[in-house]
Chain A
Amino acid sequence: MNWRRAALAAAAAAPVIALLAWGMTRDPKEIVSPLPGRNAPEFALGVFAPGEPPLARKVGDTIALASMRGKIVVFNFWASWCLECRVEHKDLSFVAQQNASKSVQFVGVLYNDVPSAGLEWIGKMGGQAYPSVLDQGARTAIDYGLYGVPETFVIDASGRVAYKHTGPIPAALLQAKIDSLLAAPAVQSPAVQSPASR
């Protein structure tokens, strides 16, 4: 065997193999959002599902991000056709109720769905503690760089995206994010997007 030739061939093939191996470790569906650390896109959307007291809002009311400055906003995109939304639904309602007396506002956003289906889904799931709004034409979803549901954005008191979560968000993780923002809202460092669960 010609060892010199074999070494040359191996040296030429190694970077290609390394590149392919690195590619195998990547999830092609995972998108690193550029939003964490930036100001959250403004929205003003109409309520279609009122939620439950004490977090209830009237159907038809407009919920605007600008009117929630000084509060931590948990902005969750969901749909009645989304299976994974079922997984996180109770956790979200539970955390919303746990933080009802604090400066925290939960808002659900119905994504590419019709209100009647959304209301029926909420009924089947045993209610939703916080109000949900309609996003006509998915303009707000695109503004938030959404590529699927569920996705949750935690916006700090200054209106900056502190955290984005793709897939069902566990109650403990969400509560930890809220606690850290409540403890030090002004110095909270931008969080990175969690690994995509899909």
Chain B
Amino acid sequence: MIALVTVVVAATLALASPQAVTPPPVSAIVVPTQRSTADSILEARTTEVAKGLRCPICQGLSIQDSPSEISQQMRALVKEQLRAGKSPDDVRAYFVSKYSEWILLAPEAKGFNLVAYFAPALLFLGGLGTIALVVRRWTAAGESAGESAVAQGAVAADAGQSTQPD
């Protein structure tokens, strides 16, 4: 028992001693940090591109969100191309050249595609205008009806006064 305790204490001291745990050189600390920063930037750029590319076998999912094998393979390819120095636009252009513009979850803002960008805002404004117009008409109709009712009431009151016996 005493021997076991001695061994444990010796092992603990050995692990705790400065000689046992040699501090890594400064370069060894800096390089992984730089690498992890570069990796996280690459990962963020990959995610940004992958979010805009459609999963070919899903309904309305991006290759970033889809767990399917082909989506993961496409995402890996996106990462590889970005790592090789291609820009996000280059990577998107590659996928468009293979799958057509269908592969983009959001159509490019040019030509007929502009309808998709502006139509919702125009329809919203048109709807607001229509509502405003209808409300204004209703209000005007209500006011004129009220005025005419008041006027009719006044006429009736006058008539009543004139028919009352003195």
Residues on A facing B (Cβ under 8 Å): 28, 31-35, 41, 112, 137-139, 141-148
Contacts and interface: CB of A to CB of B under 8 A. Distances in A.
A179 B79 CA distance: 42
B73 A137 contact: yes
Size range of the chain B interface in the assembly: 10 to 19
Contacts of B99: 31, 33-34, 145, 147
Contact of B98 (A137, A144, A148): A144
Given A148-B56, A148-B57, A143 B98 contact: yes
Interface of A is mostly: loop
7 contacts: A31-B102, A112-B70, A138-B73, A142-B73, A142-B74, A145-B99, A148-B56
Contacts, number: 46
Contact of B76 (A33, A137, A143, A148): A137
A142 B76 CA distance: 11
B97 interface: yes
Contacts of B97: 34
Contacts of A146: 56, 70
A31 B74 contact: no
Interface in B46-75: 56-57, 59, 69-70, 73-74
- B57, B59, B70: which has the most chain A beta carbons within 10 Å? B70
Interface string B68-100: 011001101100000000000000000011111
What's the dominant secondary structure at chain B's contact region?
Answer: helix
Nearest to B99: A145
Contacts of B76: 137
Nearest to B96: A34
Contacts of A141: 70
Given A31-B56, A145-B99, A146-B70, 11 more contacts: A31-B102, A32-B100, A33-B100, A41-B98, A112-B70, A137-B73, A138-B69, A145-B100, A147-B57, A147-B99, A148-B56
Contacts of B69: 112, 138
A41 B96 CA distance: 14
Nearest to A112: B69
A141 B71 CA distance: 12
Contacts of B96: 34
A6 B109 CA distance: 35
A142 B100 contact: no
A138 B98 CA distance: 13
Contact of A139 (B57, B77, B102): B77
Given A112-B70, A147-B99, A142 B57 contact: no
B98 A34 contact: yes
Nearest to A135: B73
B94 to A, nearest CB: 9
Nearest to B55: A147
Contacts of A139: 73, 77
Contacts of A35: 98
Contacts of B77: 137, 139, 142
B86 to A, nearest CB: 15
B97 to A, nearest CB: 6
A28 B61 CA distance: 13
A147 B70 CA distance: 8
Nearest to B101: A34
A67 B77 CA distance: 26
